[in-house]
Structure formats: C-alpha cells, structure tokens
A and B are shown apart, each in its own frame.
Chain A
C-alpha cells in the first residue's frame, strides 16, 4: 500500500521542497501521491506534487483529506509571520486546530508529521546550555511566534491523546540557513549591517537544508513516533558569525531593541519578525542525541559548516578584507 501524503503550506519555500522531495521519492519509497495545499499559489515548480488551493483554516481541509484518501499529513510552514502579527497567528494556530480536527475525523489518517520549531523552548537567561526534548521553556514563550508554536504543539498533544492510533512525529528544528529558504535568520544575515544587542552574544544553531529535507522524508517513509530536536551540532556565536560574513555588528541597547532593530532592518530593505530579538539576546541551543539514537539519523552538517555554506553563497561584507576572507 503506497502512502498518500498531504503537505501543508507548500507555497512556502521549505515546504515546497519537502513536498517535491517526497514526490521524487515516489513509489520506490512507498509514496503514491503527494498533495500540496496552501492559500496562495506556490512560486516555484512543484514537480509531481498535486496542488490544491485551499485554506486550512476552514473545514475544507477535511474534504481534501477525504477526497484524496490522505493517510499521512505533513504539517509544515508553521513560520514566524512576515506580514503582520495577526495573520501569522491565524495561520499557525487556527490552521493547526482545523487541520487536526479534520485528521481526528478522518479514518484514513494514520500518521502526522509536525514541523515544529526549536522556538518552542523560548529563549531566556535561565535556559540550560542545551535543551533536551523533555525540557520545557523557562521563559520567552509569552508572546509572538514562540507562543504560537507552544500552542501548536499542545494541540498536537491533545490530538495524540484522542487518536492514540496515529503515529505523531514532531520535529523541533532549528532555523534552516540556506540562501533559498526564507527564514528569519537568513533575512537577518543578508543585511549589510547586523543590529545586535549591546552586551549580549547569543549562541545560534542552524540546520542544513539537506539534513532538514532528509529528516522529514525519513519521518514520512519510516515510522518514528516521538519528538526530536533537529539542529546542526555545535554552536556559532553571533559575533563569530558576523566576523565570518565580514559584516559589522551594530550594538543597540537592549531596551527597545526589538523596535529599533526592525526599523533598521526595514531601512536596509529586508524584514525580521519582531520576536527574533529574544533569540538575538539570549540565543538557544538544542541537544540532538535523541535524533541520532532514537530517530536514527546522522546529521551531515554541523551548525558551523551550514553557516560556512551559507557564507559562500552571499556576497562578502564590508569588513571581509580584515579577516582576509573575500
């Protein structure tokens, strides 16, 4: 029996790639059909993915699941909103609610893969150095995207309670750093000047695109119930990252940093979500031993290597000559 996979949010750059990867795996990996769903048309070519234009915030998604006989749901593109806070929350939280409600009704759905985020751990000075899957956020999940993602995960837990027969894989991924993938940190690092918080140097982790795609493909093809952190090994300090890029850091006072940084980044023609400032203040790192030992996936790139790959693809910054890296 080959799987019929539903991928949400395929208009997003990362979800589109996951959907394509699944479609490319095809029958050999036991994937019969991949259905992509989103409210807007995808930019790129989706390949063998069947695209359905529907809004997961409405009960229509239940009909899509019933019509296509979907048995595996990959819920992706739970992303920090780029445009306005309210819209993002609607999509992330209400969309997840509706989707899970439809899954609960469906008799065919047997697997849910949730593309969560390491943001679920929040970011605060009381954080342990490395978050394990069993730890809860200490602080920093009161608002914005981290709050959304915590709610999304709590709905997924509720769903698992009501449908214990469904295999649920939750991937808490660090931000993918790749020039083609639209993530907040990529947008941040493409600026010529990087606003930073005065007196703080956060530890950051990145996930390589290939690793991320492979993790999602494996969770669809194999049964890997549980929650897993996914991030490249090791950490990169923000100061180190800026020096590698050859871009100057602009330290701004912590008080009012969020607004000032956002204004500055917008002036440079880019945008960052307002809740990135906590990550840029305290940083965050996750422990990936569960991914290695229980999930059975060996990450191929460390955070540092992922960052190096990214650095090679962007133009060297203003101060690149100082470090002799042009």
Chain B
C-alpha cells in the first residue's frame, strides 16, 4: 500500500511537476484550438462533397473518408513526421501533428455531418429552393442548422475523441500534456506525474462526457 502511494500518488512530486504539467496543458489547449476548427472545416467540405451531384466528388469523398478512417492516426502521424524527411520534406512536429489530425478528424467529422445532412428531409431542400433560395443559401440557412442540431451529440463526442487523441502528439515530442508528464516521469522515476496528467484529462473532459450522455439519452428518447 505504502509503495503504491509512493509510486502513484506522491503529492510532493506532483507539486514539483505541477508547473511543467500546467504548461503541457496549455500546449494541449493550443493544439486543440488548432486541430478542432481545422477538422470541423475539413469535415464540412468532405460532407458537402459527398452530398453533391457530381459522382466524381462523391466517390472522391468516400474513398478519402474510408482511407483515413482505416489508417490509425498514429500511423499517419509517424508516416508524415518520420517518413517525409526521406523525401526531403521536413515537417515541424506542429505541422506534422496538424496535418495528420486534419486528415483523420476531417473524415470522422465529415461522416457525422453527412449523417446530419441525410437526416434533413428532401422536402426541406425542395421547399427552400422553390421559395427562390439558391443552392448555397439552402445549405447554409436551411439544411446545415438542422443537420448540426440533429448530430450535435456525435459532434461533441467526436470532439472529446479529438482532445484525447492529441495525446499521441507526445510520440513525436510535441510538448503537450502527456509528453510533459512522461518527461517528468522519466526524470523522477515515479509515475505520479502521469497519474496527475490522467486526473487533469479526466477533470477537463468529464463534464463533456456527461453532457454527451445526457444529449444521447434525449435523442434516444425521441
């Protein structure tokens, strides 16, 4: 018992590494603010392509989505970060992480938006177009607001996954929360910093997890 407390819940070590972890949390937040909007925008583009009337666009979107949903994000990240330099292209960790996340999360967000757009009845399109709205205006003012509302739990749920996923950036030495904690672990020979990081992740994400649970139940009740 004593050993477990020493190894995992050493308050003195936690206190010492706190500033380092706080900086890591800041970097994680910065990364999230970079990759979540990018993914949301990319996903929207993918979804619009997949509901368009051009077959080439539709097929292109399906192939891209399935390809990047099949490749684990860590594989994508390592391929970009360690593979591209052999072709003379050196990406900084930030760019490599952003690009890998963009490709991966756009596919996931894209599928969610598409499900949302599909859930808006055909009649809505026709009614909007017949009142004289253009195709773009129909999408922006009629379809998307309802689509987003219908899949809001999935969008939030996927965003939680993206925040969690930022932890893989530690593998390419991007100094986010897990990287900082793991650094601290190897310096102190003690796992308390990683426990502290786990607690921080849980505290930050727990309210969102609860929110998704409630939203999902509400949608299921309908």
A binds B: no
